[in-house]
Structure 1
Amino acid sequence: MSDIEKVDELLTKAEVFYLSTVDGNKPKVRPLGFHLLKEDKIYFGVGTFKTVYKQMEENPNVEIAAWDGEHFLRYYGVANLDKQEEIAKEALSLMPEVAELYNANGWEMGIFYLDNATAEIRNMMEVEETYEFNY
Structure 2
Amino acid sequence: MTRDQVLEFVKAHPASFMATVDGGEPRVRAMHTALIEPVGLTFCTGVNKDVHRQLVANPSVELAYWDPKTGVQVRVRGEMEHLDDLDLKKRIVNDVFTFLQPVVEQFGYDVLSLFRLAKGTSIVWRAAQGAAPMEVAEF
TM over 0.5: yes
Match of 2:62 in 1: 63
Change in Cα spacing, 1:64 to 1:41, as seen in structure 2 (3 Å) is same
Letter of the structure 1 residue corresponding to residue 101 of structure 2? A
Give 1:103 shift.
Answer: 3.1
Query: In the aligned structure 2, how far is the partner of 1:38 from the partner of 1:116?
Result: 12
Query: In the aligned structure 1, how far is the partner of 2:88 from the partner of 2:17?
Result: 21
Match of 2:100 in 1: 98
DSSP-derived class of the 2:33 partner: coil
1:41-120 mapped onto 2 (5 Å cutoff): 41-69=40-68, 70=70, 71-93=72-94, 94-106=96-108, 108-120=111-123
Q: For the Cα contact (< 8 Å) 2:39–2:118, is it kept in 1?
A: no
Instruction: Give me the CA root mean square deviation.
Output: 2.1
Structure 1: gaps (5+ residues): none
DSSP-derived class of the 2:87 partner: helix
Change in Cα spacing, 1:13 to 1:38, as seen in structure 2 (3 Å) is closer
Give 1:122 shift.
Answer: 1.7
Letter of the structure 1 residue corresponding to residue 41 of structure 2? I
Q: TM-score, normalised by structure 1?
A: 0.83
Letter of the structure 2 residue corresponding to residue 28 of structure 1? R
Give 1:45 shift.
Answer: 1.3
DSSP-derived class of the 2:48 partner: coil
Choose 1 or 2 for highest CA Rg.
2
The 4+ residue runs of structure 1 with deviation greater than 6 A are none
Compare 22-31 and 114-123 and name the one that shifted more: 114-123
How many matched pairs?
A: 131
